[in-house]
Amino acid sequence: MSNNALFYLTSDDMPVVSHADGIYIWDTKGRRYIDGCSGAITCNIGHNHPTVKRAMAEQLDKIAFSYRTQFESQVALDLADRLVDLTDGDLDKVFFVGSGSEAVESAIKLAVQYFVAKEQPERCKFVSLRPSYHGSTMGALGLTGYEPLEAPYRSITIGSVKVPSPDLYRYKETSIEEHITSVLEQTEKAILAAGAETIAAVVLEPVGGASTGGRIVTKRYMEGLRALCDRYGCLLIMDEVLSGMGRTGAWFAYQHFGVVPDILALAKGLGSGYYPIAAMMARKELVDVVGRSGGFMHGHTYAGNPLACATGLAVIDVMESEQLVSNSLKQGSYLRQQLEQLALKYDCIGNVRGIGLLQGVELVRDKTTKEPYPAAFNAFAKITSLAKDRGLLIYPRRCLNGLAGDHVLITPPLTVTVADIDEIITLLDESLAAFGQIVLEREACS
């Protein structure tokens, strides 16, 4: 047990951070780490960028905070316009908040209030996928499909209608097309069983993050979900807290599939770790209906504060001037190739998946049967620790409802180069070799 006053998910002692630059972080003992996961898949433009620091300092010289019911700030207006432009006008209203969980909560509440305003208050249920992760506040946790996070709070959360997430690695049908058909049929049955007239929205991550290890969907699946929402009169909400802001090689992951949501949640890369900022984006028609009913009954103290919005504007400026969205696609392709080479070398890698610089690696005990490691073995924690020992930070979780199926995310900043990726792969290679030795020793003792 750590002796300091702070506590988080674990009580393990961790190195104390000193400073960072680009893709590197140093601790107070002078040790350097490659940020191979952008923190929590957040630091999209890397650390210590002079453009962002300058913009933040300039805003601090003016005003750091103003309250949204008393003043509007030009940087908030400008950032909203920039985000709308990045969606090509698909979504034309923006509501700023401070975190991904808040963005998802805002999406939930906008959907419910929209239907209340339309005199359909019975539409108060949500459909979401299992596994999934949508945040840790009560509403967002209700949408989340990740057993360890749900279990302690099940008595105080309102759970969503859970439906299977497409799994293009472990599917049981004879083809991916049949699998997608089956998943969509199960989703429709769940909607009908819950009462289609009670569903406010279907919620999903177009590319999975911590809960699935970069699991992706198909265009047909996205089109099928959109069709179900249209058929039964509910909304489609996409959670791009993690996948948005260039991470997948497009500004927003939904743009890969050509299916536009009614509401979109953004965070992480929007502030790129420099200052907390998140956003909910929505179609104007929804906001207008709610506005005519008396306004959106929701808000947070730090919503749209000038320092946050100045940070977001500067992050977008950097991404555009340095062409980081296209770099994400280009370097993501190279990263994927290198990870697939490691998969050929190591039997413990069952699957490599993802898009752009959002890549996941699933570890398995048996590559042929796809059998996961026993949960008690904590393979995801072991490989992460081995990598950190070698100066590489990666992001671990479990992709089978949080109970089994170890994976790690490899998601470096979008500024990453070929040479950077080669360094990441070298350290990951060494970590996998060490992991293999631990597995051999374990098997020999069992």
- When pLDDT is cut at 50, 70 and 90, the band that residue 4 belongs to is confident
- When pLDDT is cut at 50, 70 and 90, the band that residue 71 belongs to is very high
Instruction: Show the tokens assigned to 242.
Output: 């993690």
Q: Burial letters for 18-44: b for 16+ Cβ neighbours within 10 Å, e otherwise?
A: eebebbbbeeeeeeebbbbbbbebbbb
With tokens 């699998």, the residue in question is 179
pLDDT more than 70, % of the chain: 98
**Strands 263-266, 93-97: pairing kind:** unpaired
Looking at residues 269-274, what average pLDDT do you find?
98
Residue 443 has pLDDT above 90, yes or no: no
With tokens 């028609």, the residue in question is 285
177 closest CA partner among 191, 164, 162, 166? 166
Its pTM stands at 0.96
Please answer whether residues 279 and 83 qualify as being in contact, where contact means their C-beta atoms are separated by less than 8 angstroms.
yes
Residue 64 has pLDDT above 60, yes or no: yes
Q: In the chain, what are the domains?
A: 17-48+323-445 (3.90.1150.10), 53-321 (3.40.640.10)
Instruction: Identify any residues that bridge with 206 across adjacent strands, giving them in sequence order.
Output: none
Cα gap 167→405, rounded to integer Å: 12
Cα gap 388→168, rounded to integer Å: 30
Residue 348's Cβ-side half-sphere holds a number of Cα atoms within 13 Å equal to 21
Phi, psi of 277 (to 5 degrees): -155, 140
Cα gap 227→220, rounded to integer Å: 10
Residue 343 has pLDDT above 70, yes or no: yes
Residues 306-333: tens digit of each pLDDT: 999 999 999 999 999 999 999 999 999 9
CA-to-CA dists, residue 70 to 61, 129, 160, 305, 321, angstroms:
20, 39, 36, 11, 34
Residue 346 has pLDDT above 70, yes or no: yes
Please answer whether residues 132 and 212 qualify as being in contact, where contact means their C-beta atoms are separated by less than 8 angstroms.
yes
Residue 130 has pLDDT above 90, yes or no: yes
- When pLDDT is cut at 50, 70 and 90, the band that residue 445 belongs to is confident
Looking at residues 127-138, what average pLDDT do you find?
97
